[in-house]
Amino acid sequence: MSALKKVRVLVIDDSARNRQAIRQALANAQDLEVAGYAGDGDEGLKLVHMLEPDVITLDLEMPRLDGFAFLRLLRSSAPTPVLVVSSHAHRSDVFKAMELGAYDFVSKADGADSHFEEELLEKVRAVELIRAPMRRHVAETPPPAPFVVGIGASTGGPGAIQRMIEGLAVDPNACLLIVQHMPPGFTTAFAERLDRLGPFAVREAADGDVLGPGKAFIAPGGKQLQVKRNGTQLELETVDPLPGERHAPSVDRLFASMAEVLGSRAVAVVLTGMGNDGATGAWAIAHAGGMVLAESKETAVIFGMPGEAIATGAVKKVLPLHELPGALLALGREAGRGPRGPSRG
């Protein structure tokens, strides 16, 4: 007689009390088991890959990476059924989480609550009904599609980005999506400065901009830049940051959207910068089958961002700044995009 195959649950919640309450509820069910725990979304994403749980219980309000950002990154890298469990979520937060892919919600009451336990077990078990649809992976972008390269940078980034564009100018066939940590107002002037370099047509990104060869878009300060599909073409959208997001624009947000929309065709570069913005997004791209490159320590002004991305295991190539354009040109040729992009006009 074969042993009962249990539903494995990953619990993500920054509250030790809530984690214990969920553990106790699941411990009473013979068909369920806790696969692991995480105290924030960043740790949770890593455990999703390591543990491959059947279902995730997720708090929305967490440090470092909240539940909303977690859901965006999860659906682009390792789609897994998510049940939101939170004592602080308002109704609008729940609906937002479900729009981002959560399949249901359980309200966590303070103290002992038998109704909460019954509802939790019932909705965790419901994963069997929705697991098959969740296994569908990110669809590939239908041809034709431009060769899109996402670039993220912070401290020391303006000079590095200029050198990247100058190096790519010999074959301006890519479409560049650039996140440079800058406040509102400065990104417009930065785009104008890069546009004067030629041959890329560089502008500050706006809603509805269509991606195409020879174009470069700078994420506007104070906004998040994302890729979306509109029929057969790729477009950009600029949205307000979520509460608690540290960076706007955020490299993670751009890279996550690229992973979701482009899948294995996503290509990204993490340049010099302080902190870890871009690391989680790089992980999402790698797990969607895309390619991530990073600037090496020998040329990075600050090795924080590239170093953090490399530490995730997502980066395939680590190169000094002057070698990165050549590597991207080679990837563009492998993608079969032709010898040249369109002229500026």
SS3 call for 59: coil
- The helix or strand, by DSSP H or E, that contains position 9, with its residue range, turns out to be strand 7-12
Q: pLDDT tens, 272-297?
A: 999 999 999 999 999 899 999 999 99
CA distances from 333 to 150, 174, 270, 321 (A): 17, 10, 21, 20
Q: pLDDT tens, 226-280?
A: 999 998 899 999 999 988 788 999 999 999 999 999 999 999 999 999 999 999 9
Q: pLDDT tens, 163-217?
A: 999 999 999 999 999 999 998 989 999 999 999 998 999 999 999 999 999 999 9
Look at the block and give the residue holding tokens 């079969």: 336
Per-residue pLDDT at 4: 63
Per-residue pLDDT at 109: 58
**Euclidean distance between CA atoms 25 and 56, whole angstroms:** 14
Q: Which residues are catalytic?
A: 154, 181, 277
Q: Where in the chain is the domain with CATH 3.40.50.180?
A: 147-334
Burial class (CB in 10 A: 0-12, 13-18, 19+), 63: exposed
Per-residue pLDDT at 162: 94
Global model pTM greater than 0.75 = no
Q: Please give the radius of gyration of the chain, using alpha carbons only, rounded to the nearest integer.
A: 21
On the question of pLDDT at 88 being above 80, the answer is: no
Closest listed residue to residue 243, CA positions, set 60, 103, 72, 75: 60
Q: Where in the chain is the domain with CATH 3.40.50.2300?
A: 7-134
| Helices 186-195 and 157-168: angle between axes, nearest 10 degrees | 30
Q: Which residues pair with 269 in a beta bridge?
A: 151, 293
- The helix or strand, by DSSP H or E, that contains position 118, with its residue range, turns out to be helix 114-125
In CATH, which of 2.60.120.330, 3.40.50.2300, 3.40.50.300, 3.50.30.60 is domain 7-134? 3.40.50.2300
Q: pLDDT tens, 177-187?
A: 999 999 898 99
The correct answer on CATH 3.40.190.10 for the domain covering 147-334 is no
Per-residue pLDDT at 198: 86
On the question of pLDDT at 44 being above 70, the answer is: yes
Under the banding of pLDDT at 50, 70 and 90, the label for residue 157 is very high
DSSP assignment string, 302-333: S-HHHHHHHHTT--SEEE-GGGHHHHHHHHHH
On the question of pLDDT at 107 being above 50, the answer is: yes
